[in-house]
Amino acid sequence: MNNALPTEGNLSALKREDFQTEVDGKKTDLFILRNNNGMEVAVTNYGCTLLSIMVPDKDGKYSNVVLGHDSIDHVINSPEPFLSTVIGRYGNRIANGKFTLNEEEYSLTINNGPNSLHGGPTGFHARVWDAEQISDTVIQFNYTSADGEEGFPGTLDVSILYQLDDDDNALLINYTATTDKPTLVNLTNHAFFNLSGIANPSPSIENNIVTINADYYTPVDEVSIPTGEILKVEGTPMDFRNPHLVGERINDKFQQLVYGAGYDHCYVLNKAEAGELSFAALCTDPVSRRTLEVYTTEPGVQLYTGNWLNGFKGAHGATFPARSGICFEAQRFPDTPNKPHFPTATLMPGEEYQQLTVYKFDVRD
């Protein structure tokens, strides 16, 4: 592990010594990325977890716009284990933790009702990644997931690059992976954003204005598994093709919103061609005037409105009540291995999994 840059005096007031420990024989640490505009991102190699994203508001005031913790102990023991972490081997849910690949059935760890969620309780969010800080703006994380880890087949070599863009206040996340056996790969980042800036308590995201570039979504059943349908958003509270306040319809007695206690659904992004990097979503906080644009090569994005956050403590005394974070998780659709008509999440030997997702921050009048 190579920590190339000093971390003292970072905008988020995090201390390197608070992130240095050893987990399963591997050392954890704090890393700081800065671009020429003054944007700063703090991250640890435990779960490639985003600890803070410092960007200015309309008055030039910097605040942390991602829900995070201020020590490695709090990251490891967070009441929300997926708080702003990398997710894998399979982001989102797999029904009953079972799937069949090449006529062989596999069983995964169950950790969400009857289902496997986000790669299981010891998925990529709970692993110490090898880290190399390449420059002020770039850090690379690597992890080798063993054959059979959490029930998934194949040894999977994963590389994730976090990079700050100097021209735009953008965080680029570039994922690659290879395998020695047929397996599933569906990686994402579970960043919980609050464009107002985290606080005690962190403000609700219900006043955020959201646009999603999707004509369709994947409805779910009572345990949040896709029914297999791909339905139009038109005429429903799921429609964000034009800007809407998150809270405008979130409490409607629409069955999908009842199931999720709010938004927790995968949107089928409009694409000219599969794998293109294209606009996925826009989120605006009307008070700070901060905006977040999301671009991705993935076919879907999961909108999650932090419905199950319960007010636990985060960095520097901030608290995270229900709906104080909003997630745009770029990914393949949930339960894809059990839905053959969904875009595949299968990775074969000799192939390379690739994904690029961009989170771009700005201020608008």
DSSP 231-255: EE-TTSTT--SS-EEGGGTTTS--H
Q: What are phi and psi of 124, to 5 degrees?
A: -65, -25
Annotated catalytic residue, options 190, 265, 293, 298:
190
pLDDT of amino acid 320: 98
The single residue of 150, 293, 298, 329 carrying the catalytic annotation is: 329
How much is the pLDDT for 146?
98
206 catalytic residue (yes or no): no
pLDDT (mean) for 257-279: 97
* Structural domains of the chain, with CATH: 1-204+302-365 (2.70.98.10)
pLDDT band at 7 (very low <50, low <70, confident <90, very high): confident
Q: What is the pLDDT of residues 224-259, one digit of tens each?
A: 999 999 999 999 999 999 999 999 999 999 999 999
pLDDT in the model for residue 9: 87
Task: Report pLDDT digits (tens) over 79-136.
Answer: 999 999 999 999 999 999 999 999 999 999 999 999 999 999 999 999 999 999 999 9
Integer-rounded Cα radius of gyration of the chain: 19
Residue range 144-167: mean pLDDT, rounded: 97
Q: Please, which pLDDT band fits residue 6 given cuts at 50, 70 and 90? A: confident
- Residues 48-70, mean pLDDT to the nearest whole number: 98
- Lowest average pLDDT, out of 3-12, 258-267, 345-354, goes to 3-12
Residue 341 annotated as catalytic: no
Pairing status of strand 244-245 against strand 209-212: antiparallel
pLDDT at 166: 86
Dihedral angle, C-alpha 173, 174, 179, 182, nearest 10 °: 80
Given a cut of 80, whether residue 4 has pLDDT beyond it is no
- Would the pLDDT of 277 be above 90? yes
Amino acid at 114: P
CA terminus-to-terminus distance, the chain: 42
Residue whose structure tokens are 């709970």 = 126
Task: Go through 213-234 and write b for each residue having 16 or more CB atoms within 10 A of its CB, e for each that does not.
Answer: bbbbbbbbeeebbbeeebeebe
Assign 2 a pLDDT band (cuts: 50, 70, 90).
low
Question: With bands split at pLDDT 50, 70 and 90, how would you rate the model's confidence at 1?
Answer: low
In degrees, rounded to 5, the angle at the alpha carbon of residue 192 between the alpha carbons of residues 35 and 321 is 130
Contact (Cβ atoms closer than 8 angstroms) between residue 80 and residue 312: yes
pLDDT at 273 over 90: yes
